[in-house]
Amino acid sequence: MTESVAFVLKGYPRLSETFIAQEIRALERLGLGITIISLRHPTDRHRHPIHDEIRAPVSYLPEYLYQEPWRVVRAWWAVRHRPTYAAARRLWLRDLWRDRTPNRVRRFGQALVLAAELDPSITHLHAHFLHTPASVARYAGVLMARPWSCSAHAKDVWTIPTWEKAEKLASCVWLATCSAINARHLAALAPPGRVHLVYHGLDFDRFPPARRGDGTRDGRADGAPAIILSVGRAVPKKGYDDLLGALAALPHALEWRFVHIGGGALTRKLRRRAARLGLAQRIEWRGAQPADRVLAAYRAADLFVLACRITRDGDRDGLPNVLIEAQSQGLPCIATAVSAIPELIEDGATGLLVPPGDVAALAAAIARLMSRPDERRRLGNAGEAKVRAGFDSATGIATLAALFGLNVEVPQPQLRQRA
């Protein structure tokens, strides 16, 4: 009998979480029965084509308990006499004592609704992200007497307290994480064999090799401007204020255009900063875009830049999928040596790395590659070769399928040729 799993997500669908949609669709194709449980309603104006390929039904929990109070009360009334309720309540109260926040209350309320409303045939709960979704899955798992597992990524690994990580790792049946640095950190807090390294990778059917142009744009005044691209949410950990500072520091004689794709709360602030720096006429802010337009942007650009950094609260990226996507198209990448990025980019071999927050070093790296098309071509080809040899999503999906109890073979990576 095929296992039936509820995937507990922060929100669905989300443009910034293509990797989750890719995983769900692939596991569906391998025969895993999936129901999607979302803690939030969607806010993006667009959706990726892959979301329309997913067959899993979607249910939304109360985003805030006060918005659906009677639904929460009915759920509590339905589960309060279950033999598992006392244990779940004790677990939640112990967490609440150490984390006295409205968010902690909301998590338990959402778990009550999930436990009361979920189809009893669901045999397993799986949370994407170790913070809020994992809390809801854990409480609901106790209430339903169901095992739960988790996929951990970036902010959720580095911003929740150690006690919470350790207790969740002791409670879940397994945890997958998308970078070696995450895996080492979490394995030190977990029972042996609990943590598994599973890179997201790419579905190369969706990212076939690009037929790139001659790549001769080098910022000379008598030529076409070089196109610099970055894809990412406008949030502090992405370092876009550092990137704007680096662009402002480029030699005035260079001709370039910068394209940003992504939503985010800091967009207006960044646009104002760009105007103050005199860059407004050289920047195109495209906002969040569906996958086909992002792919077209990779193929039209000369250089990809991501200036990630660690914020004061410890938030950081894991291994940004956009770097893997950009490299899959032969696009040379400049990034910061943060978190798991050096697991993908080897400085001087498959891209360039600079220290996080070092605006001068970032500007120098951009100017260097902008003016050296041959080096761009070499780094782009090397980056693509590494991605296509080692970051095929099929390998990670096979590992996840085995963890869910499906019988699949792990495919061998193959280097695909350009069309």
- Nearest CA to 100 among 167, 171, 161? 161
Of 149, 144, 192, 140, residue with least CA distance to 168: 149
Q: What is the DSSP annotation of 258-284?
A: EEEE---TTHHHHHHHHHHTT-GGGEE
150-166 residues labelled b (16+ CB within 10 A) or e (exposed): bbbbbbbbbebeeebbe
pLDDT for residue 409: 67
Strand partners, 197: 177
Closest C-alpha among 177, 179, 180, 178 to residue 195: 177
Are 248 and 278 a contacting pair, CB within 8 Å? yes
pTM, 2 dp? 0.86
Q: Is 392 helix (H, G, I), strand (E, B) or coil?
A: strand
Computed over every residue of the chain, the mean pLDDT equals 93
pLDDT digits (tens, 9 = 90+) for 245-274: 999 999 998 999 999 999 999 999 999 999
Sequence-ordered alpha helix ranges (H) in 320-414: 321-328, 341-344, 359-370, 373-390, 393-403
- Residues 98-143 have pLDDT tens digits of 999 999 999 999 999 999 999 999 999 999 999 999 999 999 999 9
What is the per-residue pLDDT for 414?
Answer: 44
Q: pLDDT (tens digit, 9 = 90+) per residue, 21-34?
A: 999 999 999 999 99
Where is 3: in which H helix or E strand? none
* pLDDT classification of 17: cutoffs 50, 70, 90: confident
Confirm if 151 and 33 have CB atoms less than 8 A apart. no
Residue 212 contacts residue 299 (beta carbons within 8 Å): yes
Cβ–Cβ under 8 Å, residues 335 and 351: yes
Would you give the end-to-end CA distance of the chain in angstroms? 42
List the single range of 77-86, 117-126, 144-153, 312-321 with lowest mean pLDDT. 312-321
The pLDDT of residue 411 is 52
What type of residue sits at position 169?
A: L
For residue 129, the number of C-alpha atoms closer than 13 Å in the C-beta half-sphere is: 20
Query: What distance lies between CA 194 and its chain's CA centroid?
Result: 22
pLDDT tens, residue by residue, 274-325: 999 999 999 999 999 998 999 999 999 999 999 999 999 988 888 999 999 9
- Average pLDDT, integer, range 158-184: 96
What SS3 state is found at 218?
coil
Torsion of CA 144, 148, 153, 154, to 10 degrees: 60
Contacts of 253 (CB under 8 A, 6+ apart): 219, 221
User: At 419, is the pLDDT very low, low, confident or very high (cuts 50, 70, 90)?
Assistant: very low
333-354: average pLDDT: 97
User: Which helix H or strand E contains 149, and what residues bound it?
Assistant: strand 148-152
Nearest to 122 by CA among 184, 179, 56: 56
β-partners of residue 287 are 261
Question: In order of start, what are the domains of the chain with their CATH numbers?
Answer: 4-201+392-403 (3.40.50.2000), 226-390 (3.40.50.2000)
| pLDDT attached to residue 410 | 52
Q: Residue 125 carries which DSSP code?
A: E
User: What pLDDT is stored for residue 413 in this prediction?
Assistant: 45
| pLDDT surpassing 50 at residue 50 | yes
pLDDT tens-digit readout, 191-247: 999 999 999 899 999 999 988 776 778 888 778 899 999 999 999 999 999 999 999
Q: Is 168 exposed, middle or buried (0-12, 13-18, 19+ CB in 10 A)?
A: buried
CA dihedral 114, 43, 235, 237 (to 10 degrees): 40
Residue 1: per-residue pLDDT: 42
* Region class of 203: left (phi > 0), else alpha (psi between -120 and 50), else beta: beta
CA 164 – CA 108 distance, rounded (Å): 15
